[in-house]
Each structure stands twice: as structure tokens, then as C-alpha cells.
Structure 1
Amino acid sequence: MSSHDTDWVDALAADDLPQDDVIGVQVAGRDIAIYTAGDAVYATDNTCTHGHARLCDGFLEGHEIECPLHQGKFDVRDGRPTCAPADAPLRCYPVRVEGRRVLLRIG
């Protein structure tokens, strides 16, 4: 195992992923939102950079998550804000699915 492999942490079972939706999880002491859009899985911080609301309580449409507080939107693929009042990007985490587990690179 390379040193880069140790940066990956187990987040949840792949069976727990909602289809075309978002779920909030605690991973390595961080509040993370994990999204499925089609066949892809993405992960970002779970807190909106504008209103500090939990994005897992928001609405996922395609690749955009809408904050439940002030309706700012972010692209879950790269974290960039796509609709005001959100103007600062979300932190994103690389995701990989191995077997029946979803892993995130936190480091």
C-alpha cells in the first residue's frame, strides 16, 4: 500500500447511497455531503459557504445542490457556486467505490 492509499477513509456502504440524491455523513471528524448523480458519486463539505446550512437538507437536481436556507446553488462536481447568494466554493473530496464501500480522500 502506498502512502497515498492511507489518505482514503471509509465513509459508508455503497448500498446506503441514495439514487440521484444527497446524504450527510461524519467522516474523520468532518461533516460531509455525498451525492449520487447518475452513475457518479461526489463529496463536498456539508455546510453551505453562504448561510451555514447543511446541504444534505437541500435539493439535488442533476449536478447542482440547492442550499435549503437561501437557495444558493453549487456544482457538486467541483464545488463552484452557480447561483447567488452563494459566492465561495465548497471543498470537494475525491471519491472511489471499492467493492461495497465508498471511500473518501480526506488528507
Structure 2
Amino acid sequence: MGTRVCSLDELVVDQATRVVIDGVPMAVVKDSAGDVHAIGDTCTHGEISLSEGFVEGETLECWAHGSQFSLISGKPLNLPAYEPVPVYQVELIDGDVFIDPNATKEI
């Protein structure tokens, strides 16, 4: 089990929330389908916090230069970013969100 980061009710639909676990910054998103995702919070193009960006469907867009990252795979969907961000395993237990910063998903 990972670290508790918040309750599910604290997450706003289609809005990223920045959390830091053991020094690892992450953007946590509850999408419009109710699924919770956690990806690396730092854009691979410009060292910008992705949690300040825009959620649309299953993507998180960097507010600075417009690169969109898949919440599922971490892969950038357009330039200028071309390197993926890590995707972390999320567990929902009794209405709480748990994330392990050492458990990245392989997509």
C-alpha cells in the first residue's frame, strides 16, 4: 500500500492537485469518469508544474507551452514535449487515495 494523499471527496473533477510524496511531485486527477490518475508533476519540456495545467478527458495540458500528457500512459500527445512523465499506481481504499511513489506503471 502507498501513502495516503487525500480523500476521494477532496479531488475536484477535471482539476489537477499537486502532491509530494517522499520528495516526488505528482499531479493527481479525478477525471470526468471518476477514475483517479497520478502522473509526474513536472513537464518534460520546460520544468513547469503540470498540476497548474488543464484537464480535458484523459489528458493534462501544460499551461506554459501546450503539451498534453496522457493521464493513462504519461506519454506526450503533442510537441514541444517528447519525453513521457511517470505514471504512478493509485489505490482507492475506503474513500481515500493512496499512491506509492516507487510504483510506476509500465505502459
After TM superposition, the score normalised by the length of structure 2 is 0.88
Percent identity at matched positions? 30
CA distance in 2, matches of 1:91, 1:12: 20
Instruction: Tell me whether 1:28 sits opposite 2:5 in the alignment.
Output: no
- Match of residue 67, structure 1, among 62, 69, 72: 62
Counterpart in the other structure of 2:105: none
Greater helix percent: which structure?
Answer: 1
- CA deviation map 1:40-87 (0-9, x unaligned): 100011110101110111001001111011111110111011010010
Rg (Cα) greater in structure: 1
Q: Which runs of 5+ in 2 are unaligned?
A: 103-107
Superposition misfits of 4+ residues, deviation over 3 angstroms: none
- Mark the runs of 5 or more structure 1 residues left unpaired by the alignment: none
TM-score, normalising length from structure 1? 0.88
Partner residue in 2 for 1:90: 85
RMSD: 1.0
Q: Matched residue of 1:106: which SS? A: strand
Equivalent-residue separation in structure 2 for 1:72 and 1:102 (angstroms): 27
Give the match for residue 52 of structure 2: 57
Matched length: 101
Separation in structure 2 between the aligned mates of residue 53 and residue 60 of structure 1, nearest angstrom: 15
Indicate the SS of the match to 1:15: helix
